[in-house]
Chain A
């Protein structure tokens, strides 16, 4: 974890740096967020949804981007996750959102990543999701979770 601080509106803000192709630290953002949510006594199903979506988002940056930054704003009623990366971007978002579609290299797939399930897993876990991408620049993914379920 790179930074953790209380926000002025009582939300906890966690920031993580993610390096492309660095599988040694992959998952640190998701596990750090899960740990904080567990300490805060948040509901188990909410923790699972946030942890799963964050992990997939984090792994996407590791596999596809040069580097990225993940910021989590954790409040009692809503959690926002924003993942920004510098990388090749996504030329066709609709295609990328299709279950099973993947551009991950073979050595990554052999590790059990890159099965083309990441974005669909994220969609299943979140209440709101916004994906913006510019080819050859990078991708921004914003995720929103409500503790009382979907609004």
Chain B
């Protein structure tokens, strides 16, 4: 089982607030269409997206995500940070694009299988 802190280090993610380093990351999901994520993401996933508005937090709560990675160095809005803090959702940003983040996440999860 991969811990969130191991993924954060392997993918060089930048935490946007506090997170539980021991939280298991069971899977990954990538998508910018919220309905698609809502329908298909697995509980315990790390969600890779370029959406940065505050509504991503509710989707993460409803699915039970391990965290959200906002890619491509997109600026994270203050209201997104505040909602994530309030709902205790781990939020990260990545300088690389979704494709590269997913490639590294996939390798990281496979390595630890």
Question: Which residues of chain A have a CB within 8 Å of any CB of chain B?
Answer: 23-24, 26-28, 30-31, 34, 44, 48, 51-52, 55-56, 59, 111-113, 115, 117-118, 121, 124
CB contact between B54 and one of A24, A115, A121 (< 8 Å): that residue: A24
Chain B residue at minimal CB-CB distance from A44: B43
Tell which of A23, A55, A112, A117 has the most Cβ of chain B within 10 Å.
A112
Could you tell me the distance between the alpha carbons of A115 and B32 in the complex, rounded to whole angstroms? Answer: 10
Query: Which of B12-20, B34-42, B67-75, B101-109 lies at the interface with chain A?
Result: B34-42
Could you tell me the distance between the alpha carbons of A23 and B57 in the complex, rounded to whole angstroms? Answer: 12
Instruction: Report 12 cross-chain contacts, Cβ distance below 8 Å, ordered by A residue.
Output: A23-B53, A23-B54, A28-B58, A31-B87, A52-B39, A111-B34, A112-B32, A112-B55, A112-B56, A118-B35, A121-B38, A124-B39
Would you call B1 an interface residue if the criterion is a C-beta within 8 Å of the partner chain's C-beta atoms? Answer: no
* Given pairs A24-B79, A27-B61, 9 additional interface contacts (CB within 8 A): A23-B53, A24-B54, A34-B62, A52-B62, A111-B53, A117-B33, A117-B35, A118-B35, A121-B35
Q: Mark B8-33, 1 if CB is under 8 A from A, else 0.
A: 00000000000000000000000011
Asked if B62 and A27 sit within 8 Å, CB to CB, the answer is yes
Would you call B2 an interface residue if the criterion is a C-beta within 8 Å of the partner chain's C-beta atoms? Answer: no
Could you tell me the distance between the alpha carbons of A124 and B11 in the complex, rounded to whole angstroms? Answer: 35
Tell which of B32, B59, B79 has the most Cβ of chain A within 10 Å.
B59
Would you call B98 an interface residue if the criterion is a C-beta within 8 Å of the partner chain's C-beta atoms? Answer: no
Would you call B51 an interface residue if the criterion is a C-beta within 8 Å of the partner chain's C-beta atoms? Answer: yes
